[in-house]
């Protein structure tokens, strides 16, 4: 009888490990549920800072006014008491030149924030102050960077 109870106990323990293994997420870190490493070109990438209620939609265009695909947009955010908390966010644009930043703090240390876009020799900046416009839409018109103009 004891052997049977031990056998049943072992089976229950093994079954619980199988159940736990089946509850794991169906995606690997760094990939989407579809298995691709990057979102589709027409999906708007969303970068969540997890630091507050504000958001910013950006559209990045080149000197010709056309959307810039795969431009990198970066921002450094200092917030909290005396700017003690810091957040560095970075995301790439989709085929329409769009990217969205969510979870931005409503109050930042030394506003406004500068969202810097770059791709190759192109660069541009968007100025955003979450204290005056918590949910905003801005554009960044990129042009040849000044370092390239000096040569």
Q: Would you say domain 46-145 falls under CATH 3.40.30.10?
A: no
pLDDT in tens, 92-116: 999 999 999 999 999 999 999 999 9
What pLDDT score was predicted for residue 26? 32
| Mean pLDDT, rounded, for 121-148 | 92
d(CA 98, CA 73): 10
Burial (CB count <10 Å: 0-12, 13-18, 19+), residue 72: middle
Q: Select from 26, 84, 30, 94 the least CA-distant residue to 57.
A: 94
- For residue 86 the two structure tokens come to 């810091």
Please identify which residue in the block is written with the tokens 């109050």. Answer: 107
Q: Mean pLDDT over all residues of the chain? A: 80
What pLDDT score was predicted for residue 105? 98
| Mean pLDDT, rounded, for 116-139 | 97
Indicate the pLDDT class of residue 32, thresholds 50, 70 and 90: very low
Indicate the pLDDT class of residue 147, thresholds 50, 70 and 90: low
Check residue 21 and give left, alpha or beta (phi > 0: left; psi -120 to 50: alpha).
alpha
| Mean pLDDT, rounded, for 4-16 | 47
Strands 85-92 and 72-79: antiparallel
Percent of the chain at pLDDT > 70 equals 70
Three-state DSSP at 141 gives strand
**Predicted structure pTM score:** 0.71
């Amino acid at each position: 009888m004891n052997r049977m109870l031990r056998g049943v106990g072992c089976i229950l323990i093994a079954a619980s490990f199988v159940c736990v293994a089946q509850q794991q997420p169906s995606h690997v870190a760094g990939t989407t549920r579809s298995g691709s490493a990057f979102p589709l070109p027409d999906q708007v990438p969303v970068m969540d800072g997890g630091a507050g209620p504000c958001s910013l939609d950006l559209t990045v265009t080149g000197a010709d006014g056309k959307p810039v695909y795969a431009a990198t947009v970066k921002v450094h955010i200092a917030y909290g008491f005396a700017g003690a908390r810091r957040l560095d966010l970075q995301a790439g644009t989709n085929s329409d030149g769009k990217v969205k930043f969510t979870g931005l703090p409503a109050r930042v240390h030394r506003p406004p924030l500068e969202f810097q876009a770059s791709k190759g020799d192109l660069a541009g900046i968007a100025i955003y102050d979450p204290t005056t416009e918590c949910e905003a839409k801005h554009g960044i018109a990129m042009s040849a960077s000044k370092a390239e103009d000096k040569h």
